[in-house]
Amino acid sequence: MSERVAIYPGTFDPATNGHLDIIHRGALVVDKLVVGVAVNAGKGPLFSLEERVAIMKAEVAAMADVAARIEVRPFETLLMKFAHDAGAKIILRGLRAVSDFEYEFQMAGM
């Protein structure tokens, strides 16, 4: 059986308890979870890319039961290229409101 690899992309600016909850729960259902910290200068990030990656690495390290399954890395490519490069067949996404579901449903249709 092949390894189940997922990616969880986002800007994580800043990382929230919701992000961390999704990361923890996601890591419990896959063999490897790659947290992709996106460049996205269009959002005008509060923290630099390097700071956001460091914050996410520190938060993941604190998840003792699943930390070994999680890798944090920056990316600035198209999401599908990042998923391919990571060997992922799953993209993990979070939903906050009904409008998020509608947006994600349209994205999944593509």
pLDDT digits (tens, 9 = 90+) for 53-73: 999 999 999 999 999 999 999
pTM: 0.86
State yes or no: pLDDT of 93 exceeds 90.
no
Q: Percentage of residues in the chain with pLDDT exceeding 70?
A: 92
pLDDT at 40: 77
Binning pLDDT at 50, 70 and 90, where does residue 45 land?
Answer: confident
Tokens of 22: 């999704």
pLDDT at 98: 64
C-alpha radius of gyration, the chain, whole number? 14
Tell me the C-alpha distance between 81 and 62, whole Å.
Answer: 29
